[in-house]
Structure formats: structure tokens, C-alpha cells
């Protein structure tokens, strides 16, 4: 089965495991949280447990560096909270990881959504507000930026 055929739930779980695996490969302790842990998918610490961070994982299937979020992302941030955005590609390829501080995500999605609301739609009509937000990294500013975790 190609990664582009995965149901959304499975691609999300795959993304979490890929991030946990990559962090473990880099020498960190990564624990996947239970499904009912609101907003945090992984808890991560350095090897001597002197620094910990929380990670929210968002996964897409393909190569486009764009992920769908909810309105909550505008106000869901903390100094020790990060997003890892995952691009699942073909099963034979390593995924891409974009590591972004949560405050950067919050500022981006709020500004981007406001710009979208202020721009005309395809037929010139006004856009209607909705809870969908998007984060994009077209210039790959955050690609493989594991150091931003500060671990």
C-alpha cells in the first residue's frame, strides 16, 4: 500500500511513530502519549532528563509542505511546545520533518487566515470565516531543524 493510500488516522499514527523513531535515533527519550492527551502527541527529553518538550505532530501524505490545523492553533503555544510537521512520501522514502516552535505556528496561522479572509474568493466574493487553518513551509525554513527543540 502506498503512503498516499493511507487513511487519515493511520497516516497520523505513522507520523507520530516516525517522529518518535527519529528522536530516539538522535539520542532523545521520546514517549508517545495516550490518544486522550489533548494537544500533545509526544513527550521528549534529553538523555539525562534535564530538558523536556512537548510535541504536536501533524502529518500529510505527499510532498507539499502544507498541513491543516484548527483555529485552536492560533492560541495553543508555549515555550516548550513544538510542532513537527511530517510529509509522508512513498514507503521507500524517508519522510520530511519540519520542526517549528508553537508560537511561530500560532502567529503564522492567525496572520495567514486573516489575509485569506481579507482577500476575495475565486468569483470575487468575500471568504466566510471557518475553523480551518493551514501552516506552510514552502521555503523549507524549518526542514530538519531538530536543534530548535533545544534538547
Question: Cβ(134)–Cβ(68) under 8 Å?
Answer: yes
CA atoms within 13 A of residue 40's CA, in its CB half-sphere = 16
- Residue 20's H or E segment, with its range, is helix 8-25
Which of 4-18, 67-81, 114-128 bottoms out in mean pLDDT, i.e. has the lowest? 4-18
Q: Give tens-digit pLDDT for 45-98.
A: 999 999 999 999 999 998 899 999 999 999 999 999 999 999 999 889 999 999
Q: Which CATH architecture describes the domain 3-149?
A: 3-Layer(aba) Sandwich (3.40)
Strands 81-88 and 96-101, sheet pairing? antiparallel
Q: Domain map of the chain by residue range?
A: 3-149
Measure the CA–CA gap between 4 and 20, rounded to whole angstroms: 21
Measure the CA–CA gap between 94 and 76, rounded to whole angstroms: 29
In the prediction, which pLDDT does 2 show?
A: 46
Amino acid at each position: 500500500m502506498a503512503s498516499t493510500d493511507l487513511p487519515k488516522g493511520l497516516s497520523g499514527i505513522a507520523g507520530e511513530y516516525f517522529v518518535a523513531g527519529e528522536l530516539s535515533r538522535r539520542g532523545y527519550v521520546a514517549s508517545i502519549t495516550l490518544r486522550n492527551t489533548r494537544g500533545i502527541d509526544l513527550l521528549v527529553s534529553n538523555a539525562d532528563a534535564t530538558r523536556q518538550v512537548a510535541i504536536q505532530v501533524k502529518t500529510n501524505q505527499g510532498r507539499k509542505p502544507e498541513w491543516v490545523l484548527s483555529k485552536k492553533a492560533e492560541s495553543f503555544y508555549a515555550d516548550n511546545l513544538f510542532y513537527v510537521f511530517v510529509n509522508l512520501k512513498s514507503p521507500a522514502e524517508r519522510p520530511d520533518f519540519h520542526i517549528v516552535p508553537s508560537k511561530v505556528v500560532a502567529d503564522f496561522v492567525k496572520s495567514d487566515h486573516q489575509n485569506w479572509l481579507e482577500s476575495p474568493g475565486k468569483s470575487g466574493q468575500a471568504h466566510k470565516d471557518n475553523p480551518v487553518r493551514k501552516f506552510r513551509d514552502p521555503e523549507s525554513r524549518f526542514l530538519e531543524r531538530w536543534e530548535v527543540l533545544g534538547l
